[in-house]
Amino acid sequence: MLDAFEWYCEQCGRQVYREEIAVQNIVTDLPKVFERYYGTPANCTCKHCGTVMQPPVRR
Ligand SMILES: [Zn+2]
């Protein structure tokens, strides 16, 4: 069973990144997906308009 995680560009609305993983443990697996997205410039930069997505601010 795969879960798909998708991010869309804030500027142009096109898909920036998509990853499908088999989530075993949502508490430990989810941060890894976010890390691969926000932690990898190639993944969190929109290929269509060049906008770099910023991670949500944690308080
Ligand atoms: Zn864009």
Q: How far is the CA of 4 from the centre of ligand 1 (A)?
A: 20
Q: How far is the CA of 11 from the centre of ligand 1 (A)?
A: 5
pTM for this prediction:
0.84
pLDDT by residue for the chain (59 residues), tens only, comes to: 899 999 999 999 999 999 999 999 999 999 999 999 999 999 999 999 999 999 877 77
Q: How far is the CA of 18 from the centre of ligand 1 (A)?
A: 14
* Residue 18: strand, helix, or coil: strand
How far is it, in rounded angstroms, from Cα 24 to Cα 56?
24
Nearby residues of 10 by Cβ (< 8 Å), 6 or more positions away? 51, 53
Q: How far is the CA of 13 from the centre of ligand 1 (A)?
A: 6
